[in-house]
Amino acid sequence: MLRVGRGDGEACRLLVERHLGRVVAFASRVLGSPSEAEDVAQDVFARVWTSAASWRPGSARLTTWLHRVALNLCLDRLARRREAPLETAPEPADPRPTPAGRLEEAEVTRVVHREIAALPERQRTALALCHYQGMRNDEAAEIMDITVEALESLLARARRTLRERLRPVASDLLES
Amino acid sequence: MPREGMTLDRLALLLDAYGARPERWPDAEREAMQALLERSAEARIRLDEAAALDLLLEHAAPAPPSAALAERILAGRPRAKLVPFPVPPRRRARLVAAIGLAAAASLAAWLVRRPAEYPRLEPAALAQLGEYQTPTDALLSAADLDADDTMPEFGCDDPDVDCDEPDLSPRPSSMGPTARKEIPA
Count how many residues are written for chain B: 185
A51 min Cα distance to partner chain B (Å): 10
Instruction: Name which of B56, B57, B80 is nearest A7 (Cβ-Cβ).
Output: B80
More confident residue, B158 or B5: B5
Q: How many Å apart are CA B136 and CA A92, to the nearest integer?
A: 110
Q: How many Å apart are CA A23 and CA A133, to the nearest integer?
A: 9
Q: Which residues of chain A have pLDDT under 70?
A: 59, 84-103, 172-176
| Angle, CA of A114, A76 and A135, to the nearest 5° | 65
Q: Which residue of A has its CA nearest to B13?
A: A156
Contact status, residue A29 vs residue A132, Cβ threshold 8 Å: yes
pLDDT at position B161 is: 44
Q: How many Å apart are CA B112 and CA B116, to the nearest integer?
A: 12
Residue B109 identity: A
Nearest to B8 by CA among A123, B35, B53: B35
pLDDT at position A56 is: 76
Contact status, residue A66 vs residue A4, Cβ threshold 8 Å: no
The residues, any chain, with a CB within 8 Å of residue B35's CB and separated by 6 or more, are: B2, B6
pLDDT at position A121 is: 94
CA-based Rg of chain B, rounded to a whole angstrom? 55
Q: How confident is the model at residue B179 (pLDDT cuts 50, 70, 90)?
A: very low
More confident residue, B3 or B14: B14
Rounded to 5 degrees, φ, ψ at A7 are 85, 25
Q: What is the pLDDT of residues B71-126, one digit of tens each?
A: 999 998 888 766 666 666 666 667 667 677 777 777 776 666 655 555 555 656 55
Nearest to A30 by CA among A158, A128, A112: A128
Nearest to A128 by CA among A15, A42, A20, A32: A32
Residue A95 identity: P
pTM for the full model?
A: 0.63
More confident residue, B149 or A48: A48
pLDDT at position A1 is: 78
Q: How confident is the model at residue B173 (pLDDT cuts 50, 70, 90)?
A: low
The 3-state DSSP composition of chain A as helix, strand, coil percent (nearest 5) reads 75, 0, 25
Nearest to A130 by CA among A32, B55, A20, A138: A138
ipTM (interface predicted TM): 0.78
Q: How many Å apart are CA B78 and CA A4, to the nearest integer?
A: 7
Q: Which residue of B has its CA nearest to A111?
A: B60
The residues, any chain, with a CB within 8 Å of residue A80's CB and separated by 6 or more, are: A88
Helix-helix angle A34-51:B67-75, to 10 degrees: 30
- Specify the 3-state DSSP secondary structure of B67: helix
pLDDT at position A93 is: 45
Rounded to 5 degrees, φ, ψ at B30 are -60, -50
* CA distance from start to end of chain A: 49
Contact status, residue A131 vs residue B82, Cβ threshold 8 Å: no
Residue A60 identity: A
Q: What one-character DSSP code corresponds to residue A50?
A: H
- Specify the 3-state DSSP secondary structure of B152: coil
The Cβ of residue B98 has, within 10 Å, a number of other Cβ atoms equal to 10
Q: Please enumerate residues of B whose Cβ is less than 8 A from a Cβ of A.
A: 13-14, 16-19, 24, 26, 49-50, 52-54, 56-57, 59-66, 69-70, 72-74, 76-81
pLDDT at position A94 is: 46
Residue B148 has pLDDT above 70, yes or no: no
Q: What is the pLDDT of residues B21-68, one digit of tens each?
A: 999 999 999 999 999 999 999 999 999 999 999 999 987 777 788 889
Helix-helix angle A9-31:B67-75, to 10 degrees: 130
User: For testing the chain B interface, which of A2, A3, A15, A16 should be mutated: the one with the most B CBs within 10 Å?
Assistant: A16
User: For testing the chain B interface, which of A129, A152, A175 should be mutated: the one with the most B CBs within 10 Å?
Assistant: A152
Residue B175 has pLDDT above 60, yes or no: no
b vs e for B113-139, b when ≥16 Cβ sit within 10 Å of the residue's Cβ? eeeeeeeeeeeeeeeeeeeeeeeeeee
